[in-house]
Amino acid sequence: MFAMPWLVAAVSLTLQQPAAPAPATPPTPAAAPARAARSHRGLGAQLEAASAALEFARVDLTSLTGLSDMAGLSGLTGLSGLSGLSGLEGLSSLSSLAGLETTAVAFGDGDDGELVGDPPPAWADLDPVDSLYRAARQLLSSGRYADAATAFADLLKRYPRSKYTADAYYWQAFALYKTGDAGNYRSARTALDYYRTHFSRADNRGDADALYAQIQAALAKQGDPDAAKWIREHAQPSDTSKTTSRCSVSDDDDDPRIAALNALLQMDAESAMPILKQVLARRDSCSVQLRRKAVFIISQKRTAETEDILLSAARGDPDQEVREQAVFWLSQVGSEKAVTALDSILQSSTDEEIQKKALFALSQIRGDRAGQILRDFAEKSSASDDAREQAIFWLGQGHSAQNAAFLRGLYARITSDDLKEKVIFSLSQMRDPDNGRWLLDLAQNEQEPVEMRKKALFWAGQTGASLPDLAGIYDRTKNEEMREQLIFVYSQRHESEAVDKLIDIAKHDPNAELRKKAVFWLGQSHDPRARQALLDIINQ
């Protein structure tokens, strides 16, 4: 048979809500980048998986419905019930997460929150330095950073001019930094100063800028005035009237200002926040990428003004992406103050996309107040149907008894068919016995439009309504469209009782068209009883 429950399972797995960060003590500056990077990669993967599930569903269903054009396959018209899948369009709100992957660019994949790397294999076998480079590389790859730094320094001392010189300076600085010894940071900076001055076209130049920013951040944290000055200067957008060539047009760590801004993650909030606020205050085009980066870093600095700064950016920044990311990061702050800010955005913003991002952000915050704001908005008749649909969708992902009861009551109070469809879909996602019974009752309510009844029936079947209940509906209803939909619902179930019901319809239903549809779906089954039933029908 054609089995559809995989769709519900796939989407449900991808939409498990990440818990909002606890408003406890923030991670130490050294650990923050790694946690952020890992978290972002996880959310990015979640987004990718959800999008893939949705796309797979659309492609698969399109290919099935296309079969209705083929002669003899009229039974596939039962697929019309799948139009309820339009509820999955709510996944588009996850585009809020798209910016997350750009925040981890400077931090690599290591567990210690800092840059990681492995020198390239030796490539100049005839160079007398080759063996020394191999030995130093092995030490670095083994995590013996102090020994590796010494080995690279010895290589440079003995052979100051070789094919390995540029790489040796970079990896010496890298190894010194990775020792974690504060006394080695200045030596690492000195090595990188030489590298950046004399090897401006080296392959590792972009990595060197990011490493340099990390070293400067570590030194600034220790009170080094030169490092703090460098961070302040390089995290600022340049004066475009003087240095237009330095204008950032992408999230590129080759730009030292991007690297410097990333380095602010390691600095304490008291030092970092004034710089970040100055970045967000800029309005020139050259500061756009920096402002996008800044809203994330601000969300990681839990201060009394964090929510106010993000709210200001969400309301007033000229760049749409900055505004949307500011809204998203409010959800990750997760405080009551953040909830208030998101509620304010919902009530005051005229930008529907921002409203949708705020709805998504509220859905990520655990707590009664955030849920109540979503429920109030879903019922707000002055809001657009598109925005209300988003609220209904995210309420369905909340899986709470309170949300379920609200949505069941909301269905009777709304008149829009699109909103009613979203309510049906959202209730089907909660896996609640009360919702299953509600869907079955709706399917049998002859006062409801038949299309709504069919959708309720489809989702009831997908979410585990009992076969005896579904079979009983077929016996009680006289509506041919509903019976046709029930045949399709049976075809999607794996229980033996579903095959029994299809066989009974195929052999005994007085309606020839319904018998044909049952026969069609029996032909899609791998159950040996289905094959025998078809043979019996052929031999009649």
pLDDT digits (tens, 9 = 90+) for 375-423: 999 999 999 999 999 999 999 998 899 999 999 999 999 999 999 999 9
Number of neighbouring beta carbons within 10 Å of residue 246: 14
Q: Exposed (0-12), middle (13-18) or buried (19+): which is 331, by Cβ within 10 Å? A: buried
Residue 287 has pLDDT above 60, yes or no: yes
Residue 330 has pLDDT above 50, yes or no: yes
Cα–Cα distance between 324 and 46 in angstroms, integer? 19
Name the band, by pLDDT with cuts 50, 70 and 90, for residue 84: very low
Highest mean pLDDT pick, 243-247, 252-256, 346-350: 346-350
Cα–Cα distance between 427 and 396 in angstroms, integer? 6
Tell me the one-letter amino acid at 316.
G
Q: Among the listed ranges 29-43, 189-203, 230-244, 392-406, which one has the minimum average pLDDT value?
A: 29-43
Name the band, by pLDDT with cuts 50, 70 and 90, for residue 266: confident
Residue 104 has pLDDT above 80, yes or no: no
Number of neighbouring beta carbons within 10 Å of residue 481: 14
Residue 35 has pLDDT above 50, yes or no: no
Cα–Cα distance between 494 and 462 in angstroms, integer? 11
Cα–Cα distance between 473 and 505 in angstroms, integer? 13
**Which two structure tokens, joined as six digits, stand for 265?**
């993650």
| Comparison of pLDDT for 65 and 154, the residue scoring more | 154
Q: Exposed (0-12), middle (13-18) or buried (19+): which is 111, by Cβ within 10 Å? A: exposed
Per-residue pLDDT, averaged over 10-20, amounts to 39
Residue 38 has pLDDT above 50, yes or no: no
Per-residue pLDDT, averaged over 452-464, amounts to 94
Three-state DSSP at 445 gives coil
Percent of the chain with pLDDT over 90: 49
Cα–Cα distance between 221 and 231 in angstroms, integer? 11
Q: Are 135 and 151 in contact (CB under 8 A)?
A: yes
**Which two structure tokens, joined as six digits, stand for 495?**
């229980």
Tell me the one-letter amino acid at 77.
T
| Comparison of pLDDT for 126 and 450, the residue scoring more | 450
How confident is the model at residue 118, as a pLDDT?
A: 62
The 10s digit of each residue's pLDDT in 198-220 is 887 777 777 788 888 888 888 88
Residue 478 has pLDDT above 80, yes or no: yes
How confident is the model at residue 119, as a pLDDT?
A: 65
Computed over every residue of the chain, the mean pLDDT equals 78
Number of neighbouring beta carbons within 10 Å of residue 322: 24
**Where is 110: in which H helix or E strand?**
none
Residue 362 has pLDDT above 50, yes or no: yes
Enter the pTM of the model.
0.68
The 10s digit of each residue's pLDDT in 149-178 is 999 999 998 888 888 888 889 999 999 999
Per-residue pLDDT, averaged over 449-456, amounts to 96
Per-residue pLDDT, averaged over 311-333, amounts to 93
Helices (H), 301-349: 306-316, 320-333, 336-348
Per-residue pLDDT, averaged over 47-51, amounts to 44
Cα–Cα distance between 50 and 13 in angstroms, integer? 8
How confident is the model at residue 52, as a pLDDT?
A: 39
Comparing CA positions, the residue from 476, 527, 489, 534 lying closest to residue 507 is: 534
List all residues 6 or more positions away from 290 whose beta carbon is below 8 Å from its beta carbon: 235, 237, 248, 257, 258, 261, 279, 282
| Comparison of pLDDT for 204 and 465, the residue scoring more | 465
List all residues 6 or more positions away from 486 whose beta carbon is below 8 Å from its beta carbon: 457, 470, 473, 474, 477
Q: Which residue shows structure tokens 């909340």? A: 398
Number of neighbouring beta carbons within 10 Å of residue 27: 16
How confident is the model at residue 239, as a pLDDT?
A: 53
Residue 19 has pLDDT above 80, yes or no: no
How confident is the model at residue 125, as a pLDDT?
A: 60
List all residues 6 or more positions away from 269 whose beta carbon is below 8 Å from its beta carbon: 301, 302, 303
Return the half-sphere exposure (C-beta side, CA atoms, 13 A cut-off) of residue 187: 18
DSSP structural state of residue 510 = S
Residue 452 has pLDDT above 50, yes or no: yes
Cα–Cα distance between 333 and 330 in angstroms, integer? 5
**Where is 528: in which H helix or E strand?**
helix 528-538
**Which two structure tokens, joined as six digits, stand for 31?**
């650990």
How confident is the model at residue 93, as a pLDDT?
A: 42
Per-residue pLDDT, averaged over 23-42, amounts to 37
| Comparison of pLDDT for 12 and 504, the residue scoring more | 504
